[in-house]
Structure 1
Amino acid sequence: MNTGAGAGARSGLIARLNRISTDGRYLIVPMDHGITLGPVKGLVDLESTVDAITDNGADAVLTQRGVASRVHPNKNTKGYIVHLNGSTVIGPDTTDKRPTGSVEGALRAGADVVSFHINIGSDHEPDQLTQLSNLTEEAHRYGIPVLAMNYARGPGIDEHDPESLAHAVRIAEELGADVVKTAYSGEPESFEQVCAATQLPVVIAGGSRGTDRQTIEMVRGAIDAGAAGVSMGRSIFQHDNPGSITRAVSAVIHDGASVDTALDIAGLEIEV
């Protein structure tokens, strides 16, 4: 964890990180996709989705600040992260994430942590590097941790290349973030290189929905490689039973369950 703030602020950073994790492991469900994708399945009735996932093992949920009033009554005392940039699929460039809020605004919305997305290798990388650096400095003045969502995305870049992912997560540490999210490389062996590139807790993105087994195998592989958890959105909130898939993911992250055991615990079909 970044330690650039004073002793009091460091205590606040630790306390707030504990609100979005359990014993250093993270099961975060981002639901800021309303800006990116619109009112898709799982986000129309945001209240029910938040209740189901936080009642079944999620440590924290993440949204844009405007829907905070819909989150707080339904998050079952779990952590809350406010995301501070975004773009849309109908805009000219989805990699051009623009700021959507401030640390003060996130605090007024009841955030424990703030998050910010940057695309390493995109045309917008220079501005986003500066924005993330400025954000971590501002957030740490308030004792607020920063979750950096650092992806390898740009012309000619393989988004799952472990060398590119390792570079992306290291940038998060260099710029002062406290937790870093990135894509999964595809197998534990190559993802070990990514986790070894930084001393920050690394959490993986879920990406597009696969089968339940594929989702849980990905989580198990990431944990085996040294990841600290997941920040998984569509694979959870668009699931036919968000509570059940959350329970399965939680069993792997928090209880060390195997893939089959996690699926069984959650009452999900053990496909082969």
Structure 2
Amino acid sequence: MTTTGIDARLDRIGTDGSYVIVPMDHGTTIGAVQGLKDIESTIDGVTSGGADAVLTQKGIAPRVHEHKNGKGYIVHLNGSTSIGPDENEKRVTGTVEEAVRVGADAVSFHINVGSNHEPDQITQLADVTEQATRLGMPVLAMAYARGPDVDPEDPEALGHAVRLAEELGADIVKTGYSGDAASFEHVCESTRLPVVIAGGSRGTDRQTIEMVRGAMDAGGAGVSMGRSIFQHENPQAIANAVSGVVHHDISTDDALAKSGLALEA
């Protein structure tokens, strides 16, 4: 259920219905890795390069606002660590009301569809969307196909994950990429929500941009891409290349060339 507030805030985290979002909540999961120690400079770089919004946990909010160049801000509401007993068991870390208090334009919530923790995460995401609707706040559901018997690139499983996000009341859904545009069409057709792809582990510049190009060709609405952007040697340049594909529909070669990245990278 959309409201004027939700629509207005969606405009703050995207451009004409497409999205380049850079999650930087990974300090919770993997620690202060490259790109996150001086998160202020990274935020300035990616937003200068064309990102529509950045995403962090609530405690990082004071480090975000002065450096995001007027772009959108999303607060993530659950998390886990890579050194804990089970990284897939995301625990609630905040509320929609707290996100409002720290100046967020949207909230996000992670759910692992097919994992042992799916039942609790379904309940928690449904609670978040109820809170958010009351406050006119958009919800980005990070709905992954992850579990002991689940292929994380299976288009059927990914399609199920994005449909679940819609069924639970999300406004945007992020999921993994199935590997090619042809199979990802099924994922995008499984929901009326805008579908954005995760980046996963960092690949080459060409691999990153080809993945974005494939997702857009399949009907995707953009990216919510963390490590591939914030761990890059030049976050501004790679954000610019991704934005070129998402917002200007340019080719992989043109995106790499116009952003100053080597075509063979």
TM-score past 0.5 threshold: yes
> Normalised by the shorter chain, which TM-score bucket?
over 0.9
Measured against aligned partners, the alpha-carbon deviations of 1:163-213 in whole angstroms (never above 9, x if no partner) come to 000000000000000000000000000000000000000000000000000
Secondary structure class of the residue paired with 2:169: coil
1:150 aligns with 2:150: no
TM-score by length of 2: 0.99
Matches within 5 A, 1:77-116: 77-116=70-109
Q: Which residue of 1 aligns with 2:121?
A: 128
SS of the residue corresponding to residue 117 of structure 1 reads strand
Which structure 2 residue ranges, 5 or more long, are not aligned? none
CA drift at 1:150: 0.2
Is residue 168 of structure 2 the alignment partner of residue 162 of structure 1? no
> Partners of 2:131 and 2:63 in 1: how far apart?
27
- The residue number in structure 2 matching 1:261 is 254
Partners in 2 of 1:83 and 1:137 — Cα distance?
16
Tell whether 2:163 aligns with 1:173.
no
Match of 2:48 in 1: 55
User: What is the match of residue 69 of structure 1?
Assistant: 62
Report what 1:195 is aligned to: 188
**Aligned partner letter, 2:223:** V
Tell me how far 1:151 sits from its aligned partner.
0.3
Mapped partners of 1:253, 1:166: distance in 2: 21
Provide, for residues 202-225 of structure 1, a one-character-per-residue CA deviation record: whole Å limited to 9, x for no partner: 000000000000000000000000
Q: Does the residue aligned with 1:115 lie in a helix, a strand or coil?
A: strand
1:249 CA displacement:
0.4
Name the SS for the 1:251 alignment partner: helix
Give per-residue Cα distances to partners, 1:8-64, cap 9 Å, x unaligned: xx0000000000000101000000000000000000000000000001100000000
Q: What corresponds to 1:6 in structure 2?
A: none
* 1:28 is aligned to 2:21: yes
> Is structure 2 residue 199 aligned with structure 1 residue 206?
yes
1:140: which partner in 2?
Answer: 133
Residue 177 of structure 2 aligns with an amino acid whose one-letter code is Y
| Residue 156 of structure 1, CA deviation | 1.7
SS in 1 for 2:174: strand
Give me the whole-angstrom Cα distance separating, in 1, the residues matched to 2:205 and 2:114: 31
Aligned to 2:37: 44
**2:175 maps to what in 1?**
182
The alignment partner of 2:64 has SS state of helix
Question: Separation in 1 of the partners of 2:60 and 2:128?
Answer: 21
Of 6, 9, 16, the match for 1:13: 6
TM-score normalized with structure 1 length = 0.97
State the one-letter code of the partner of 1:130: T
Give the CA RMSD over aligned residues: 0.6
In 2, Cα distance between equivalents of 1:256 and 1:85: 33
Letter in 2 for 1:160: E
Q: Which residue of 2 aligns with 1:7?
A: none
* Alignment partners' CA distance in 2, 1:171 and 1:31: 25
DSSP 3-state at the match of 1:88: coil
Residue identity opposite 1:261 in structure 2: D
Distance in 1, matches of 2:227 and 2:215, equals 18
Give the number of equivalent residue pairs: 265
Counterpart-to-counterpart distance in 1, 2:142 and 2:234: 26
